[in-house]
Structure 1
Amino acid sequence: MGPTRAQFIQYAPAALAVASAAAGPWSALAAGAAGAGAWAINASTPALRSLIACGITATGCGIAAHQVLASGMNPLFALGLAVPAGAAALAHHRNITGEFPTLPAATTATTGQTSQAQLITAWWKEFISGPTQTEGRKLIQEGAGLAHLALEVGDDHVSFTGIITLPQGQQVRVKAADIASVYNVPVSQVEMGDPKHYAPNALPVTVHLTVPASAPEITAGAPTTPEEEWDAFVGVPEGAMPGTTLTLTRYDGPLDWEGIATRERKAIGTVNLQDLAGNLDLSMIQITLAPGDKPSQMGVRVMKEHALMHGTMLSSVVDELAMDARGYVRLGTYVDARPALVPLAQPGSGARHLYLVGGSRSGKSGILEQILLSAHRSGIATILASPQAGTIAGAHLAAYCGDGLNEAMGALRLAYAMMLDRESRYRSPAFPFTDPLVLVVIDEAHMLLSTSSPYHAEAKAIVEQMTRRSLKRGIGVVLATQTPLAEDLGNSTIIRSQLLIGGGAVFLRCAKGQGSLVGVNAVEGAEGIDLSKIPASWPGLFATVADREMTGLDTEAVMAPEDGTFGLGYLLTPGSQAVQFRSLHLDVSPVSLAGGEPPVGLEDCDAWRERDAITQTPMVDVRGKNLVGNLEDLLFWAEHGRPAPQQQQRTGPAGQQPGPAGPGVFAGPAAGAGDGQELIKPRILELLREESIPLTAETIARKLGTSAKNIKPRLSELKKRDEVTNENGLWKAA
């Protein structure tokens, strides 16, 4: 059996060097023959270069040695010329040795591991045993280290073996499926020893990895460059943010980075978040935007593991629930860890509204409980209308609670009466009031406002008036519904617009097909958000029964924040972009955090003293028209009862009979009387003399049961007679 190709390339130059002393010039011919042979067997370029250099050196030394011997000089000189030839042969041997590496040893020590062995060990510690580099990572079995790691690398396969080792007394609970998920291989490629044949704390494992021959190391995937992906899909004309470029500020992987999107010399404006998530091939909750100080810039954050998955406990920030000097309270935490603040009041101007949307198990009730607690700790009185009885744990913190459909309607009537009472006592909206700020909290408002509700017309009329008129009287409205659909607000555009202008909005998860904020349900600053796209559980978090302790029913167990996405949504304040946030996690009863103090009470006024009668008195007639407009009428009907439109209870002046709208409101002339001018003018004069305050023409017309176009000409005629006066549209008797 002849020499191998490698042996020929290694030892042929050495033979030339030994023969150089005797062969003389013939060594050149031998070196040429060796080079041709090396080329014929496809030697590599470095090997050929080294061989040629060695042959030239050996040939030169051989010629010199031959000349020395031929001239009769000392033979020791000729022998000395063999030294550089041997050195050249040794150099050639070293040059080509690295071209034929041997396979790695079957076992490697912990120190001096190959890069591939280090990567295998790092993945094992990160996901299985710890210590992990990721804060809050849920390990498969902490302390289950991989000992005696052995790596086998072949031309078409790579595998490793080891022993899962735990301290004495513990048992290995790592499963083959767990290891397969970590190294992204099928379960069939993971072999584990039978626990019956091994100690409980030591179990052998073999993992077969399938990798290309050119890339034997384990790779986590081919990461894409966020800048290139942005330019290709987002910054193009049809993208979510056309004309923008991305500058990264942090990069921890293709699914965990932050950056700033910039549009040259132009404002970015509002961004359709659903389109942006589609451009980047992400779910909506994986990406969040943060408007910057410049309109041409927008902060972008992509999250592999959501920053708010573990939540913020309410008990640890209870001192932040009280209102600050600007009227803000903490409602939760933004995705960038900043406190999420909402205003409950505006010092020097009045109260603020809040619009809350969220379906079942979205965290809506938790936010309402938190608002009740914040109002209590801030000295704000609350009136709670809860059509669905028994759903708000902090109901005892309200000064008045309407629990149930009928009682909730009564709470709305009381809130409207309190506003009318304050309007009668405070002619000027100058602050501060001596009365406390009031929040009217309406939970499940669709049960009162939708067209299917028996109180639809009355509730819609009251809420429309309150959202328009109550802020300057120190009364804010917190309205909560299950969807952002117009039907939930009684098809009233006034209510939604006034709520958004007067404070802000919180949007949580909704049912599928009911959470889109586009079309007729569009909200400025929340373009493209679909609340039904917020998942009920965190992506990648699979809570299986096998991972839980099934030792019995534990009635004291508290749900962990990462068990669901409750409280996760978007917070919108006037004039800004909706920002992703999560409400504080309520792990204790709000009543216990109230400190045992009684609820903040309302002021002692006519509306509060007559609350029992007011809550039972409809504010509109049976047609849903003629909402009571002042406190005097309201208190009269609370005492005497609201008549039907056909009823006539007392006779008015000049033989006229009162109409259905209240005291002093007359339906028209008595039977047989005409409708001449002289019959209306005495009624106008008598009404103005009875009223202690000036009235507008519209108010006079409403009280007399006629239209304003019939009243205004008569008022002008009475003014010419100097029987009435007009100051800025307010009429009174002379």
Structure 2
Amino acid sequence: MGPTRAQFIQYAPAALALASVTAGPWSALAAAAAGAGAWAAGVSAPALRSLIACGITASGCGIAAHQILTTGMNPLFALGLAVPAGAAALAHHRNTGAGLSVLPATTAAGQSSQAQVITAWWTEFISGPTQTEGRKLIQPGAVLAHLSLDAGDEHASFSGIITVPQGQQVRVKAADIASVYQIPISQVEMGDPKHYAPNALPVTVHLKRAPELPEQPGITAGAPTTPEDLWAAHVAVPDGAMPGTTLTLTRYDGPLDWEGIATRDRKAIGTVNLQALAGNLDLETIQIALAPTDKPSQMGVRVMREHALMHGTMLSHVVDELAMDSRGYVRLGTYIDTRAALVPLAQPGSGARHLYLVGGSRSGKSGILEQILLSAHRSRIGVILASPQAGTIAGAHLAAYCGDGLDEAMGALRLAYALMLDREARYRSPAFPFTDPLVLIVIDEAHMLLSVSSPYHAEAKAIVEQLTRRSLKRGIGVVLATQTPLAEDLGNSTVIRSQLLIGGGAVFLRCAKGQGSLVGVNAVEGAEGIDLSMIPSSWPGQYAKVADRDMSGLAAEASAGPEDGTFGLGYLLTPGSQAVQFRSLHLDVPPASLAGSQPPVAVEGCQAWQFREVITQTAVVDQRGKNLIGSLADLLTKTEQGPAPLPQPRAQTDPAGPAADGQELIKPRILELLREESIPMTAETIARKLGTTAKNVKPRLSELKKRNEITNENGLWRAA
């Protein structure tokens, strides 16, 4: 069997080199014949050029050897001419080789190892020094240091650091290395020069890649699989949750455990529909947490396999952070990024703050209220507690006044309203700081008082609307808790919820299915798309334990741990921001045990507080149950427990008589009354005290106001 075409191309120049010593000029004919045969066999252009060069070298050596022998010189000189011919044959052999697979393998007989071969090729073609004349090196002096190999049955690669002398810069490119080792450029990985010294650059060369694994079932070729690809394909599209954004990963521990920053080019991202985002990423809403950054064009995104707040934060560990700081904030829990979750109870120099709390049964709402009572106690803030469902707040004794039960809770609301009227009478122009302490009105299960089915619906709704509107600048804040965000729980009053959200913040915990949506008529700015019913009652994996009758870790004597339920897990919303996932502090100890020996913070000894017993039993609306009593004096008159004799109403005369209700007679009497009482009054109260009708009084009040003799604020008239 004759030689193959590849063997002919590789070994023909060597035969020509040996024959040139004796054949003389005839070797040129043999070289020409070999080149013609190679061309006819369809050899590549580089191999053909190498073969011709080798043949010319061999021919030249043969002619010189023939001349030496014919002149009678020493034959050893003719034999020495075979050396350059052999070198040309070796160079041709290298140029036509198929790669490292044809290089000599490692043997015990002292032959070159694979590392030596790699280094030899690097030295020969890239760095030098080289013995091949006429070859131009890629970068002389660019040695390959710290060479390491990684070879197996399915792969082979080497890595090292390209190093040049100090003061020079590495100029070797990936394409240069690929051409030397005859591999695709995609198999050469070089470091970014911006991150390394100019004279040192790491490189990894994959001589042989492992075969790609077959596609997994269910994964379509070309479908996005990385978080960045999924984001670009589903979230950043025009109909996605965050159109026009790009995702930059900051941490990646798997497809269900990563963090990143979503960025929109020079445009604010705005509020994000969390439910839509979860749909785009094919996840549950509980697995996604958003964290606004300092830049409106960026939003932090976190995807979790195991929730970061599963193990909770113990109340006893952060008890020192419960007291109000100089900005008026207290710690309520922990954000998803482990930062402290703060809410304001006051704003120094401006008054108090509201808090809106939503949470169903077993969601942790009572625990947050107990924590607020403890924070108020440690911050020396007075508390009036209204708890329609008796016995639900363990820290109720920390309040200065507790209305426990439906009727008593309504009495607490009346007392809070009377306290606001009292402060309005004493602080006509709010001046801070108050000499009176800050006060929180805590209303638990507010739907039992405000819903249409409540016997106190009209009165409670009127009081809470006025408190949320007018109490902040008098140093009185409202903490209102309901079981759902539905409008019915607030007596169908849009005023109450809007004032609560504007005047402070909101906490949203788990609600019953179908009652936790914050979209539609229950929309809350900054919490778009959140469905509180999607917060699970237990962490992933707990249902499986119950189904499998797995009793491990359920010691009968051990106290419940934070991971036993999602108590206190929800969203915290502060004005002007996005709702952020957080979890309240875990009550590992009774809050009362952390209160110390200090007594409850007392409310100031004002008239409203002195007559609190009768005020809590007296309705503050008229007989129709609609119009509120507008002043503390009127309220005390109704209770018949006033601190001083009230002026007797003048005898009522015929409203139609000109002597009784003439214009010139009523105006002086109105001015006299307002100056004597020194408290604001409604038009109805003025009419009753003057023994006439409001129809006759209101036009006169308007005329006196035009003369700047009296003023009107929120329907309350007083002398200028």
Q: TM-score range by the shorter chain?
A: 0.5 to 0.7
CA shift, 1:688, in A, is: 4.5
Residue pair 1:291, 1:577 contacting (<8 A) in 2 also: no
1:556 to 558, 561, 566: 558
CA shift, 1:476, in A, is: 0.8
Whole-Å Cα distance in 2 between the matches of residues 50 and 407 of structure 1? 106
The residue type equivalent to 1:215 in the other structure is E
CA distance change for structure 1 residues 94 and 263 in 2, over 3 Å: closer, same or farther? closer
Alignment of 1:686-725 (within 5 A): 688=673, 692-693=677-678, 695-701=681-687, 708-712=694-698
CA distance change for structure 1 residues 313 and 705 in 2, over 3 Å: closer, same or farther? farther
**SS of aligned partner of 1:372:** helix
Partner of 1:504: 505
CA distance change for structure 1 residues 714 and 557 in 2, over 3 Å: closer, same or farther? closer
Whole-Å Cα distance in 2 between the matches of residues 716 and 251 of structure 1? 67
**What 5-or-longer segments of structure 1 have no aligned partner?**
106-113, 115-148, 156-211, 641-651, 657-668, 720-724
Correspondence 1:471 to 2:459? no
CA shift, 1:615, in A, is: 3.7
Alignment of 1:229-308 (within 5 A): 246=246, 248=248, 250=250, 252=252, 256-259=258-261, 261-264=263-266, 269-275=270-276, 284=285, 286-292=288-294, 297-304=297-304, 308=309
**SS of aligned partner of 1:453:** coil
Alignment of 1:37-48 (within 5 A): none
Residue pair 2:24, 2:63 contacting (<8 A) in 1 also: yes
Whole-Å Cα distance in 1 between the matches of residues 539 and 47 of structure 2? 58
Whole-Å Cα distance in 1 between the matches of residues 366 and 28 of structure 2? 96
Q: Deviations over 1:418-439 (max 9, x none)?
A: 3334345544433333332111
Partner of 1:162: none
Greater displacement, 250-259 / 221-230: 221-230
Partner of 1:442: 443
CA shift, 1:371, in A, is: 1.4
Whole-Å Cα distance in 2 between the matches of residues 551 and 303 of structure 1? 27
Alignment of 1:299-378 (within 5 A): 299-304=299-304, 308=309, 311-378=312-379
The residue type equivalent to 1:699 in the other structure is T
The residue type equivalent to 2:292 in the other structure is A
Residue pair 1:272, 1:527 contacting (<8 A) in 2 also: yes
The residue type equivalent to 2:627 in the other structure is N
Partner of 1:129: none
**SS of aligned partner of 1:436:** coil
Correspondence 1:215 to 2:221? no
**SS of aligned partner of 2:101:** coil
TM-score, normalised to structure 2, is: 0.66
Percent identity of the aligned residues?
71
Q: Deviations over 1:330-357 (max 9, x none)?
A: 2234445543322111223321111122
Whole-Å Cα distance in 2 between the matches of residues 582 and 41 of structure 1? 78
CA distance change for structure 1 residues 492 and 75 in 2, over 3 Å: closer, same or farther? same
The residue type equivalent to 2:677 in the other structure is S
Whole-Å Cα distance in 1 between the matches of residues 4 and 656 of structure 2? 131
Q: Deviations over 1:58-107 (max 9, x none)?
A: 555455545555555433234323334444555566663745389x99xx
Whole-Å Cα distance in 2 between the matches of residues 589 and 40 of structure 1? 96
**SS of aligned partner of 1:728:** strand
Partner of 1:664: none
CA distance change for structure 1 residues 618 and 222 in 2, over 3 Å: closer, same or farther? same
Partner of 2:126: none
The residue type equivalent to 2:697 in the other structure is I
Greater displacement, 625-634 / 247-256: 247-256
CA distance change for structure 1 residues 544 and 688 in 2, over 3 Å: closer, same or farther? same
**SS of aligned partner of 2:504:** coil
**What 5-or-longer segments of structure 2 have no aligned partner?**
107-114, 116-149, 157-208, 642-647
1:728 to 700, 708, 711: 711
Residue pair 1:726, 1:732 contacting (<8 A) in 2 also: no
Residue pair 1:381, 1:436 contacting (<8 A) in 2 also: yes
CA distance change for structure 1 residues 602 and 227 in 2, over 3 Å: closer, same or farther? same
Greater displacement, 702-711 / 442-451: 702-711
Whole-Å Cα distance in 2 between the matches of residues 313 and 50 of structure 1? 79
Residue pair 2:268, 2:298 contacting (<8 A) in 1 also: no
The residue type equivalent to 2:288 in the other structure is Q
RMSD of aligned Cα (Å): 5.2
The residue type equivalent to 2:431 in the other structure is A
Whole-Å Cα distance in 1 between the matches of residues 534 and 48 of structure 2? 65
Whole-Å Cα distance in 2 between the matches of residues 388 and 492 of structure 1? 22
CA distance change for structure 1 residues 28 and 447 in 2, over 3 Å: closer, same or farther? farther
Partner of 1:399: 400
Residue pair 1:449, 1:489 contacting (<8 A) in 2 also: yes
CA shift, 1:382, in A, is: 1.5
Residue pair 1:351, 1:474 contacting (<8 A) in 2 also: yes
Whole-Å Cα distance in 2 between the matches of residues 270 and 457 of structure 1? 36
Whole-Å Cα distance in 2 between the matches of residues 419 and 57 of structure 1? 111
Whole-Å Cα distance in 2 between the matches of residues 231 and 688 of structure 1? 72
CA distance change for structure 1 residues 653 and 621 in 2, over 3 Å: closer, same or farther? closer
TM-score, normalised to structure 1, is: 0.65
CA distance change for structure 1 residues 322 and 703 in 2, over 3 Å: closer, same or farther? same
CA distance change for structure 1 residues 2 and 410 in 2, over 3 Å: closer, same or farther? farther
Residue pair 1:458, 1:619 contacting (<8 A) in 2 also: yes
Residue pair 2:562, 2:586 contacting (<8 A) in 1 also: no
CA shift, 1:299, in A, is: 3.9
Q: Deviations over 1:535-568 (max 9, x none)?
A: 556789997579987266243244245x655444
Partner of 1:133: none
CA shift, 1:234, in A, is: 6.1
CA shift, 1:512, in A, is: 4.0
CA shift, 1:445, in A, is: 1.7
The residue type equivalent to 1:709 in the other structure is K
Whole-Å Cα distance in 2 between the matches of residues 239 and 32 of structure 1? 70
Residue pair 2:355, 2:480 contacting (<8 A) in 1 also: yes
CA distance change for structure 1 residues 368 and 706 in 2, over 3 Å: closer, same or farther? farther
Whole-Å Cα distance in 2 between the matches of residues 389 and 30 of structure 1? 114
Greater displacement, 368-377 / 40-49: 40-49
CA shift, 1:379, in A, is: 0.3
CA shift, 1:29, in A, is: 7.2
CA shift, 1:358, in A, is: 2.9
**SS of aligned partner of 2:386:** strand
Whole-Å Cα distance in 2 between the matches of residues 261 and 49 of structure 1? 56
Whole-Å Cα distance in 1 between the matches of residues 245 and 530 of structure 2? 23
The residue type equivalent to 2:212 in the other structure is A
Whole-Å Cα distance in 1 between the matches of residues 17 and 692 of structure 2? 129
Partner of 2:79: 79
Whole-Å Cα distance in 2 between the matches of residues 150 and 586 of structure 1? 57
Whole-Å Cα distance in 2 between the matches of residues 292 and 272 of structure 1? 20
**SS of aligned partner of 2:686:** helix
Partner of 2:187: none
Whole-Å Cα distance in 2 between the matches of residues 444 and 43 of structure 1? 91
The residue type equivalent to 1:292 in the other structure is D
Q: Deviations over 1:261-290 (max 9, x none)?
A: 3554x6655554555565666665535242
Alignment of 1:539-688 (within 5 A): 544=545, 550=552, 553-560=555-562, 565-620=566-621, 624-635=625-636, 676-677=656-657, 681=661, 688=673
